[in-house]
């Protein structure tokens, strides 16, 4: 789901860094206040958890699969700020140590996946679990993927409008919203169902082990 390097104009990625920096500082302060001396080890290990969950497969019909994100589970169990900071650290690790994902798009990816995905998942779950917990978990998983994908599709889709040459040719990503929205959202609508099912199954296993309350 990440946006790679080179497709986002500085008019967008620089302000995104400004917004993300403030939110990272706030998130880190919140975590430090809540966890105290356990902040570093817990955050490090949850970053590793987030890293590895992003490598776990979401099975799709027909024998294919996609990568899970695990963001909904992190946000539901640990809260939005833990999920946001952990996912941001994973993106930083991937960009700096593996050269994957890209440094210019890091802040935007972190805001979309870590923040918007987490907020959508957590609040959808809190709202819908009153009706049915299982439905709330599946919806949270679906929304975590699709809310992030929507933001990334919007970010990509406005590139031709905000960065183009004098002849009207795009300078970064070439397609407008009429292409990015269906191209990004339709596959993610399907992957989101898988992510939702996986969120439900993992949550149930964690409830059986006593890590989370089954309600």
Partner 1 sequence: MRARVALLAYLAAIVLATTVHEIGLLALGLVLVLALAGREWLRILRRACLAILLFNLVVTLSYAAIAGVQGRFSLDYVVLVNLRVLLLTCMTFLFVSRVNPFEALAFSRSLTYLFTLAYGQSMAFKQVLDDFRLAFKSRRIEKVGLRDRYRHSARVGAHFFDKSLHRATEITQVMRSRGFFDD
Specify the 3-state DSSP secondary structure of 130: coil
Does 4 help bind partner 1 (rule: CB under 8 A)?
yes
User: Which one of residues 21, 25, 26, 100 is an interface residue with partner 1 (CB under 8 A)?
Assistant: 100
Biggest CA–CA distance in the chain, Å, is 62
Closest CA to 211 of 59, 54, 87, 46: 46
The one segment of 68-76, 120-128, 131-139, 147-155 that binds partner 1 by CB under 8 A: 68-76
3-class DSSP state of 160: helix
What is the C-alpha to C-alpha distance for residues 8 and 53, in angstroms, rounded to an integer?
27
Rounded Cα distance, 155 and 62, in Å: 31
Question: 26 to each of 29, 38, 44, 117, 154, how far by Cα in Å?
Answer: 5, 17, 18, 18, 25
Q: How far is the CB of 133 from partner 1 (least distance, A)?
A: 16
| Residue 117 lies near partner 1 (rule: CB under 8 A) | no
Nearer to partner 1, 147 or 202 (CB): 202
80 to 99, contacts with partner 1 by CB under 8 A?
Answer: 89-90, 92-93, 95-99
Interface residues with partner 1 (CB under 8 A) are: 4-7, 9-10, 13-14, 37-38, 40-49, 51-53, 55-59, 61, 63, 65, 68, 70, 73, 89-90, 92-93, 95-100, 102-104, 165, 167-175, 179, 197-198, 201-202, 204-206, 209, 211
């Amino acid at each position: 789901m990440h946006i790679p390097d080179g497709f986002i104009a500085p008019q967008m990625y620089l302000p995104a860094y400004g917004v993300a920096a403030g939110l990272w500082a706030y998130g880190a302060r919140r975590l430090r206040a809540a966890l105290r001396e356990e902040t570093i080890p817990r955050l490090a290990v949850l970053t590793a958890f987030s890293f590895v969950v992003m490598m776990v497969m979401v099975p799709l019909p027909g024998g294919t699969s996609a990568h899970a994100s695990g963001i909904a589970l992190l946000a539901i169990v640990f809260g939005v700020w833990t999920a946001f900071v952990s996912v941001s650290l994973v993106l930083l690790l991937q960009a700096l140590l593996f050269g994957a994902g890209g440094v210019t798009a890091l802040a935007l990816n972190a805001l979309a996946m870590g923040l918007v995905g987490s907020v959508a998942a957590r609040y959808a779950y809190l709202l819908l679990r009153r009706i049915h917990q299982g439905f709330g978990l599946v919806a949270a998983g679906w929304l975590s993927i699709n809310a992030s994908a929507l933001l990334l599709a919007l970010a990509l889709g406005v590139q031709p409008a905000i960065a183009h040459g004098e002849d009207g040719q795009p300078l970064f990503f070439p397609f407008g919203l009429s292409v990015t929205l269906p191209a990004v959202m339709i596959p993610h609508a399907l992957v989101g169902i898988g992510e939702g099912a996986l969120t439900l199954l993992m949550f149930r296993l964690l409830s059986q082990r006593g890590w989370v309350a089954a309600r």
